[in-house]
Amino acid sequence: MDNMRAGLGLQHIGIIMDGNGRWAKKRGLPRKYGHREGAKTFRRIVEYCDKLGLRYLTVYAFSTENWKRPEDEVNSIMQLLEQYIDEAFERQDENDTVRTRFIGDVSALSETLKEKIARIEQMSQGRTGMTVNVAFNYGGRDELVRAARQLAIQAQQGKLDPQQINEQMLSDHLYTSGQPDPDLIIRPSGEERLSNFLIWQAAYSEFVFMDVLWPDFTPAHLDQALEIFSRRNRRYGQV
């Protein structure tokens, strides 16, 4: 069922891809195997959202806090990202309309990974279909600090009157500038928190928390979340 075109008015979904490590632990496997399965789920959900006609999908892949995880796990995540980008180039299709963007501080990544990220963003830049924002080394608070710093520099240079700063101006300096805020944020895994994900943009998002680990998340679960969303009454502070 094409939920996006069925009158939901939904343009942007955010997904916190959580539960990879627990999925592996339940099966007596190293955590990196959970991340591998989670990467497969990511590809399936991207394809499904594109078929539904979604305009924007933002996935939380690696947070600024995730560097505290075991080195082996972090290295595995970095390798999976490289593999994903390499495979995207191998199977690139002239009919593929999905645009890939990375949001977050990529300066902390390896030179090889930074080059590959720049390459895939450039490759898909002219595409007009769904935009997939991969939040990697991303933190909502870090994003706000970055935006505030940019505005402060403009004010210091005399290009901006601090009294003129408003919500739209700050939004224009976020990674998601020019995109609508997420209508719906989904978090699998049973956890019920944002974990520093899109904290500015999520001011009026609807939340759906699901008790399924990310590697087990299917298009049917997405349909279930969309059904829940369809029953919500979004008032934006009004009566």
Please check whether residue 132 is in contact with residue 100, taking contact to mean a CB–CB distance below 8 angstroms.
Answer: yes
Of 212, 198, 75, whose CA–CA distance to 133 is shortest?
Answer: 198
Q: Count how many residues are written for the chain.
A: 239
Question: What's phi and psi for 201, nearest 5 deg?
Answer: -70, -25
**Which residue in this structure is represented by tokens 């009157």?**
161
Active site includes 50?
no
Question: What's phi and psi for 13, nearest 5 deg?
Answer: -120, 135
Active site includes 133?
no
Alpha-carbon distance of 184 to 226, in angstroms, equals: 8
State the CB neighbour count (10 A cutoff) for residue 76: 19
CA–CA–CA angle 65, 121, 141 (5° rounding): 25
Question: Which of 18, 20, 133, 137 does the annotation list as catalytic?
Answer: 18
Question: Which of 50, 66, 105, 142 does the annotation list as catalytic?
Answer: 66
Alpha-carbon distance of 206 to 208, in angstroms, equals: 7
| One-character DSSP codes across 29-73 | --HHHHHHHHHHHHHHHHHHHHHHT-SEEEEEEEETTGGGS-HHH
Residues with catalytic roles: 18, 66
